[in-house]
Structure 1
Amino acid sequence: MSRRGVVCVVVGAVVFGFAGGDGVAGGHAKAWADGTPVVWSEDEMPELPLDRYEFGATDQKTYDRMGSATQLLTQRCMVRHGFADFPRDPKFPGMATAYTSAMVAVSTGPVGPWDLGKASRWGYGWDPAKKFRAPEPAGREMTTEESAVYYGDRQSERSGCSGEAYTRIERGVRDRERMWTYVSRRTEAVRKQADRDPTMRRAYKAWADCVVDKGFKRYADPVQAFGDKAWRRGQDGNTTRGKRELGTAVADIACKRAHNTGGVWWTVARRLQRHELALHRAEFEAVRTDGDRLLANVRAVLETT
C-alpha cells in the first residue's frame, strides 16, 4: 500500500476520500470505520473528556476579563489610599524606559505541529522577520510610594492593593491551588500514559517508519522531532531552518496525515481520560465549581464599571 494519498491502517480501520494538498476542510474523510477521527489540524481535534473541566482562564478572552477585573479592583483600592489619579493599567517602576521583549515559550501539542505550509517554509520555527514584543501597560509608571501600597509588605502574595484585588476575585473559592493546577496536572499524567500505551506506540512506530522512508532521522515520536537539538534554537526559541530541518518538518506532518497519528492519539487519550474521570470525578467537579465561582466574581466586578 502506498504511503502517499491514503490513510494507512493502524488499528484495523479504513478511510475513504483521503485527498492531498494543504487544505483540511473537506479534504479527507472525517472518521475511520471504527470511529477514530481523522485529524489534520489542531482545529479538527475533537473535545476530550477532561477539556470541559479545564478552568476557563485558559481561554484568552476569559483571562483578559479576569485581568480587567483585578485592575479595576486594584485601582479602586489605590484611590482609597489617596492616589486619586492612579491608572488602571500602570507601568511598574523603571519600566517606562526599559525595553521589554517577550520570551517565546517553545512548545507543541501532543503530536507536534500540523501546518504543512508553515513547515515547508519555517520548519520547526517561524518567520524570523516576525518580531515578538511583550505588550506594555497603557497607563503611566507608578511612583515608588504608590508601589509600596500596590504591593504591600511583600511578605505575602495577597498583600497590598494587588493582593486585595485577587482575594476579592477568588472569594468563595475552596481550593485555589487545585482550581489552577489540578486538571492540567491530571491531563499531563494521562498524556504520559498515552505515550506508553501499546496502541500509541504502534502508531508512533508507523509514523517513524514513514519519516525514515522519506530519508530522515528516526524519532520516537513527533514531539522528539520537534525538539531535536540539531535545529539549534536561539535565545528567542527560533530555529535555523536549514534544509534538513525543513525536510524533516514536512515529512513529519505528511506522515502524521498518512497514518492519522493525531486521530489515534485522540482515541487513546479519550479512553484514558474517561478512566481518569471515573476515578476522580469528585475532584474534577470541585475544580469546575471553584472556577465557576471565580468567573461569577469577575462578572460581578465588571458589571459595576
Structure 2
Amino acid sequence: MTRGTRLLGAALLCAALGLTGCSSGADGAATGDGADEAPPVDFKTPPAVSATPTVSGVVELELPLEAYAWTDAEIRTRQQGEDLLAAACMRSYGFDLEPRPLYRGDKALRDARRYGVSDPATASRFGYHMDPAARGPKPPEENYTPAESLVLFGPQEGRPAARKQNGKEIPKGGCWAKSLRDLASEGPEVHPDKEEFADQLGGFTFQESQKDPRVKKAFRAWAACMKERGYSYANPMAAVEDRRFTESATASAEEIRVAEADVACKREHNVIGIWYAVEVAYQERAVEENQELLDTLKQRKEAILRAASRAGASN
C-alpha cells in the first residue's frame, strides 16, 4: 500500500550541506578509533612561503585542498542522486517519498569568512553575523512512520525489528545506505572515517597556521591597531568569538564598530594576505604528505558525481 507523499527529511541534512560534524564530535573532531591518531602533517618546521599577496577580501582566494573537497554545487548534485536512488528504493517497498528541496548550502559562506570578516560593507551591516538572506531554506521536518523509518534507515542497532517489509528483504542500512553504496560503487573504497578527510585536513591547517611565527607577528600588529581604536583582542578570531556577539541573534552597534575596526586593521597590516600565504604553504605540505589518500578521495568524488548525474538523467 502506498502512503501519502513525504519529504526525505532533516535526518538527511548532512549530505545536503556537506557537514562533517554529522559523523563527528560536537567540536568537529573526528570520533572513533582514529580520534587519537597523530596529526596528518608534520609542521614542526614551518614551510616556506613563496609569495605574499596584498589582500582586501577573501572571495577570490583559493586554497590547495579545495581541489579535493566538495563544493556546494557538487554537494547539490550528490544530494539529488542520493535522494532519487533512495526514493526509487522506497517505492519498491510501497512508500512514496519525494526528494528533498535542493539546498544552496553554506560552505561558500563559511569559506568567505575563513579569516574572519573582511568586507567593510558587510561589517557595517552585519558585524560578525552572516547575512540571513544568503542562507538556504530550513530543512523539512522529519515525519516518518515506524515502517518508513525501518525501510529508509534499516533496523537500528540493539533494537529488535523486522528484516523484511511486504515480504521483501530490507537492504543493509536501509534504502538510504543503499543509495550511498550505489553512488559510490564505481569509485575506489575509502574508510568511512576518511570520507571528509580533505575538509578535516583543511581545518587542521587553519589551526596550525595560527601558530606560525609570521601569522602571530601579523596578529600582534592587528592587535596593536585595534588597541589604538579602543578594543582589546589578542587576534582576529578572539573578536569573532566575543560572547557578547556570538550570543546575540543580530549585530549590536558595538559589534558593528568592532567589526569595522577589525576590517580596517586587517587591511592596514595585510593580515589576510599574510595568513593566506602561510596557510597555502601549510596546505601544499599537507597535500604532499597525504597525496595518495587525497587522490583516492578525488577519484571517489568524481565517480559519485558521475553516478549522481546518471541517476538524475534517468528520473
Task: Indicate whether the TM-score tops 0.5.
Answer: yes
**In the TM superposition, what are the counterparts of 1:150-189 in structure 2 within 5 Å?**
150-155=152-157, 158-171=172-185, 172-177=187-192, 179-189=194-204
Query: Is contact 2:68-2:198 (8 Å) kept?
Result: yes
Cα distance in 2 for residues equivalent to 1:287 and 1:155: 29
Task: Give the share of equivalent positions with the same residue, in percent.
Answer: 26
**1:44: which partner in 2?**
60
Instruction: Give the Cα separation in 1 of the matches to 2:300 and 2:206.
Output: 24
Call closer, same or farther: CA 1:170–1:52 in 2, change over 3 Å.
same
In structure 1, the residue matched to 2:222 is: 207
Conserved? CA contact 1:69–1:298, under 8 Å: yes
Residue number in structure 2 paired with 1:230: 244
Give the TM-score, by structure 2 length.
Answer: 0.68
2:260 paired with 1:250: yes
Call closer, same or farther: CA 1:76–1:173 in 2, change over 3 Å: same
The match for 2:311 among 282, 301, 304 is 301
- Bigger shift: 180-189 or 205-214? 180-189
Instruction: Determine the structure 2 residue equivalent to 1:62.
Output: 74
CA distance in 2, matches of 1:224, 1:267: 21
Between 1:144-153 and 1:158-167, the stretch displaced more is: 144-153
Q: Are the equivalent residues in 2 in contact too, given 1:208–1:221 (CA < 8 A)?
A: yes
Alpha-carbon separation, structure 2, partners of 1:131 and 1:272: 30
Give TM-score, length-normalised by structure 1: 0.70
Asked whether the 8 Å contact 1:149–1:160 carries over to 2, the reply is yes
Report how many aligned residue pairs link the two structures.
245
For 2:53, the aligned partner's letter is P
Distance 1:110 1:80 in 2: 44
Post-superposition offset of 1:180? 2.5
Cα distance change, pair 176–290 in 1 and its aligned pair in 2 (3 A):
farther
Q: Distance in 2 between matches of 1:130 and 1:303?
A: 29
Q: 1:116 aligns with which of 114, 120, 132?
A: 120
Q: What stretches of structure 1 move > 4 A for 4+ residues in a row?
A: 126-133, 140-144
Q: How far is 1:176 from its partner?
A: 4.8
Long gaps (5+) in structure 2: 1-49, 102-108, 159-170
**RMSD in angstroms over aligned alpha carbons?**
3.1
